[in-house]
Structure 1
Amino acid sequence: MSSHPIIGIVGKSILLPCKLNSSTPIDLQTLILHWISKPNDQVVHAFNKGREDNSHQDVTYRNRTQIFQDQLPSGNFSLLLKDLKVDDDQKTFFLYHHQEDQSGNTVIQNNKLCLTNVKVAKSFQTPVVMINYEDRKAECSSTGGYPEPTLTWTDQNGFLDQDIPQIIRDPERGTFNISSTVNITENLILTCSIFNPTLNETLNTTQTTTQNTNPSNNVSGIVIGFAIGALLFVVCIVAYRYIKYRGDIRLCCQQN
């Protein structure tokens, strides 16, 4: 039996749908339900003859599950899974359904109803691009997403050769951080793209390199500019003193 895929977001809730057609209302006192997760056959949620019974619920699902008891008689056995974790990714959930008659004899038994494959994802932060003109490199980084992304660099002419991206997984949250560097030249329109395969989501950041990416030229320009400014200052001082000197001579001659 094939499973139905559902994509959920880390920290949010998802509904695992399960609806059984029933011509008559289901007697809850004869109903047994077990939501199970693969691959480890963990008990996710249980309902046993009129009441919820989570005594055997796996600890990873504690306080994270909910069924809708008022809708059970109509055959709605859907499960709400709350506060999605990275560890929920790629798990398959199914329902074990057992129903008895008033004498305790089994009248219905379904071992694997409503197979659902859960994929968990989280969007990455918008990429940050930093340009280092001294090293003639640009670095792109993004954090806090799931699952592992891909990173590409492009300019106005197409894809760029880049260093192998560095990918680090947060040991507590299970999310990923990614960074990569690329060599730069002048007048590039650089775009860094982060692609999340589960969400089919691409985030882009674009930066433009300046006309001069040679740091030695930048330093030379500063030095030359400073020298010209100093020279003009000296010329002004000399001119001022010369004019003042000529003025003093005229005044002296007039007095004589």
Structure 2
Amino acid sequence: MGCQPRQDPPRPRSPHFRLAHLFVLLVGLLRMSSGVAQVSKSVKEKVSLPCGYNYSVEELNILRIYWQKDKEMVLSFISGDKEVWPQYKNRTLLDVTDNFRLMILPLFLSDRGTYTCVVQKKERGSYVRKHLTSVELSVRADFPVPNITQFGKPSADIKRIMCLASGGFPEPRLTWLEDGKELSGINTTISQDPESELYTVSSKLDFNMTYNHSIVCQVSYGDSQVSKNFTWEKRYFRRRSKARRKGNNGIYLGPAEASTGQNV
């Protein structure tokens, strides 16, 4: 008579894992579609996200607090026991004294998203949801001041310049301006590094060398912008001709001068 191999029953998962799974389903069903607060920060900065649940010290042992970003768990606080998920360890704090405010430092680009705080309270032997709030976090990487370089002369009276900025997020928009009016750029390109997610933007501009110019290269991204000024001035100097050595001086239009300035 053959023997059947014994199969041990599967080990039960930890209660925190089951609660986290239930929480994901709960938020998916109960997330509010409007009234979400907006917070904007830069990479490497600290962010403080409010939960806003008022409680008494005596309630701590019967409360469950969950912080989640989109569909990922961030942190749980159950009966005084805190658990932080791996991608947030060593940079995430829960301020219990400030109504369960969540703090993250330093911020990464990958931290952007919608954060939701859910508070459950034990009543008559079961936990009931008492509070739910969401905060939309935008994370940006600031572009440095653009760099403007002279890029040759397509024709006798035409000068070409190029503006470039790199290392920022979100996707930028580069604009050429003169006297508040937008100019038409040439070969404006935007590229993104697939690993860092950071953007590079560049554009060229042609202008007439026989006039004075004060041109601005402006890079806008999210609710921020950086810019740099480029100034072109005609330069005059006197040259005396042989026929007029003893008479009036003739005026010769010499080469122009360019200067750049920055404005953040």
TM-score by length of 2: 0.67
Q: State the number of aligned residues.
A: 197
- Given that residues 148 and 162 in structure 2 are in contact (C-alpha distance below 8 angstroms), is that contact kept between their aligned partners in structure 1? yes
Distance of 2:180 and 2:49 partners within structure 1:
46
Q: Which amino acid is the alignment partner of residue 52 of structure 1? A: K
Q: 2:136 aligns with which of 102, 114, 117?
A: 117
Aligned-residue offset at 1:210? 5.1
Please tell me whether residue 192 in structure 1 is matched to residue 212 in structure 2: no
Q: What is the aligned partner in structure 2 of residue 64 from structure 1?
A: 91
Please list the CA deviations of residues 180-238 of structure 1 after superposition, one character each: whole Å capped at 9, or x if unmatched.
Answer: 11112213322111112x2x3332211123549xxxxxxxxxxxxxxxxxxxxxxxxxx
Distance of 1:141 and 1:26 partners within structure 2:
59
* 2:195 alignment partner, SS class: coil
Q: 2:51 aligns with which of 15, 18, 22?
A: 18
Q: What is the aligned partner in structure 1 of residue 161 from structure 2?
A: 138
1:88-107 map, 5 Å: 88-89=111-112, 91-100=113-122, 105-106=125-126
Q: Which amino acid is the alignment partner of residue 195 of structure 1? A: S
Q: Which amino acid is the alignment partner of residue 19 of structure 1? A: G
Please list the CA deviations of residues 38-80 of structure 1 after superposition, one character each: whole Å capped at 9, or x if unmatched.
Answer: 1xx11101112121123xx2x43232311024x17xxx11110
Seen in structure 2, the aligned counterparts of structure 1 residues 35 and 140 have a Cα distance that, compared at 3 Å, is: same
Please list the CA deviations of residues 115-167 of structure 1 after superposition, one character each: whole Å capped at 9, or x if unmatched.
Answer: 10111112211111111233431100112211111111123483221124211
Q: Which amino acid is the alignment partner of residue 62 of structure 1? A: K
In structure 1, stretches of 5+ residues that fail to align are 213-256
Q: What is the aligned partner in structure 1 of residue 106 from structure 2?
A: 83
Q: What is the aligned partner in structure 2 of residue 47 from structure 1?
A: 77
Quick one: percent identity of the two aligned structures?
Answer: 23
* 1:172 alignment partner, SS class: coil
Aligned-residue offset at 1:171? 3.2
Deviating more after overlay: 114-123 vs 60-69:
60-69
Aligned-residue offset at 1:26? 3.9
Q: Which amino acid is the alignment partner of residue 121 of structure 1? A: R
- Given that residues 118 and 133 in structure 2 are in contact (C-alpha distance below 8 angstroms), is that contact kept between their aligned partners in structure 1? no
Aligned-residue offset at 1:13? 1.2
Q: Which amino acid is the alignment partner of residue 77 of structure 1? A: F
* 2:110 alignment partner, SS class: helix
Deviating more after overlay: 136-145 vs 184-193:
184-193
Q: What is the aligned partner in structure 2 of residue 177 from structure 1?
A: 200
Whose strand fraction is larger, Structure 1's or Structure 2's? 2
Please tell me whether residue 35 in structure 1 is matched to residue 60 in structure 2: no
Please tell me whether residue 204 in structure 1 is matched to residue 234 in structure 2: no
- Given that residues 147 and 176 in structure 1 are in contact (C-alpha distance below 8 angstroms), is that contact kept between their aligned partners in structure 2? yes
Seen in structure 2, the aligned counterparts of structure 1 residues 207 and 195 have a Cα distance that, compared at 3 Å, is: same
Q: Which amino acid is the alignment partner of residue 61 of structure 1? A: Y
Question: RCO (CA 8 Å, sep 6+): is it higher in 1 or 2?
Answer: 1
Distance of 1:8 and 1:208 partners within structure 2:
33
* 1:60 alignment partner, SS class: helix
Q: What is the aligned partner in structure 2 of residue 233 from structure 1?
A: none
Deviating more after overlay: 152-161 vs 171-180:
152-161
Q: What is the aligned partner in structure 2 of residue 147 from structure 1?
A: 170
Distance of 2:114 and 2:141 partners within structure 1:
19
* 2:51 alignment partner, SS class: coil
